[in-house]
Structure 1
Amino acid sequence: MKNYEIPTHTRIGHVHLKVSDLQRALDFYCDLLGFELMSRMGEQAAFISAGGYHHHIGLNTWYSKGQPNAPKQQVGLFHTAILYPTRKDLAKIYKRLKEHDYPFTGFADHGVSEALYLDDPDGNGVELYWDKPKSEWPLDHNGNLDMYTRPLNLIELLSELK
């Protein structure tokens, strides 16, 4: 079979999450993380965005209203990754979440990016991150990308706000 390559400028358009309580999800994604509510279908679904796009995240209760969080040890979405434009923007959301005592599940420097990890109120994993400039990405001795997971220096991250 001939090898097919996806077009270079293809992007992930949006993610659609099943949630137990639509308002609770909106409180997290809009009120805490700062997404904008673009459209709502009563108490069943909502579409939220950064920057006025029709939607980056869809939230719905069609099959999940009032249901418990999915078990972590089952097949499914690992996390939704939300890309911030700058390191300073990542520092701002880190500070905001910390001020609201929102629990984190981890922090990492991946060489190509720096990331904060947490779960939304329905237990869906969320990664908040920024990409380092491509010129700083680590390469191995053969010139191949060498991603890793190391501790993120949170004090250094917060220094972006000074």
Structure 2
Amino acid sequence: MNHTAGNFPLSPDAHTGMVTLAVSSLDHSIAYYEQQLGFHVLEQNANSALLGIPGTALLALVQPEQVQPLPRFSTGLYHFAILLPSRADLAYVIHHLAQVRTPIDGMADHLVSEALYLSDPDGNGIEIYRDRPAPSGP
């Protein structure tokens, strides 16, 4: 399967609660979330955009007039998480990120889930994960 920027669809079963991020460049951030992560622009105006999957907003990007990057390890959002429905969906994302050469900050097996971590152009942390099935039996 050949993946390129602009033709990578985020799974329609992806899930996160609504997140709002302040960004330094709205255009740059929109391009990142579209091309690297498969989000769609649902609404946009001069200084904000609503992104997600068709019919569901997942992320609001806002470009304030004067945004200052926070020093590393300061207070604020550590990362937001996107839950995928299956291991196959997670593998699909990892394959796409490798194809478009997106830096990955790390990966983890948390026993109850498998996750990868990356950062957007403003350093906002993103976790993309899938839950393992619940164990069966007593």
Alpha-carbon distance between aligned partners in 2 of 1:47 and 1:23, rounded to the nearest angstrom:
12
Q: Which amino acid aligns with 2:89?
A: D
Structure with more of its chain in helix, by fraction: 1
Query: Could you tell me which of 47, 50, 54 is aligned with 1:47?
Result: 50
Identity rate, percent: 40
What's the CA shift string for 1:48-92, capped at 9, x where partnerless? 112421x11000012555x4x322210110001011111111111
Q: Which amino acid aligns with 2:117?
A: Y
Residue 85 of structure 1: aligned partner? 85
Residue 32 of structure 2: aligned partner? 28
Structure 1 position 102, deviation (Å): 1.2
Alpha-carbon distance between aligned partners in 1 of 2:66 and 2:102, rounded to the nearest angstrom:
24
For the residue of structure 2 that corresponds to 1:59, the secondary structure is strand
Distance 1:35 1:12, change over 3 A: closer
TM-score (norm 2): 0.81
Aligned-pair Cα RMSD in Å: 2.0
Tell me if 1:17 matches 2:17.
no
Alpha-carbon distance between aligned partners in 2 of 1:64 and 1:82, rounded to the nearest angstrom:
28
**Moved segments of 4+, more than 2 Å:** none
What's the CA shift string for 1:79-129, capped at 9, x where partnerless? 010111111111111011111221111100001110011100110001011
Distance 1:102 1:62, change over 3 A: same
Structure with more of its chain in strand, by fraction: 2
Looking at CA atoms only, which structure, 1 or 2, has the larger radius of gyration?
A: 1
Residue 126 of structure 2: aligned partner? 126
Q: Which amino acid aligns with 2:62?
A: N
Bigger relative CO (Cα 8 Å, ≥ 6 apart): 2
Alpha-carbon distance between aligned partners in 2 of 1:64 and 1:105, rounded to the nearest angstrom:
28
Residue 62 of structure 2: aligned partner? 60
Q: Mind listing any 5+ residue stretches in structure 2 that lack a counterpart?
A: 1-14
Count of residue pairs brought into register by the alignment: 123
Alpha-carbon distance between aligned partners in 2 of 1:106 and 1:13, rounded to the nearest angstrom:
22
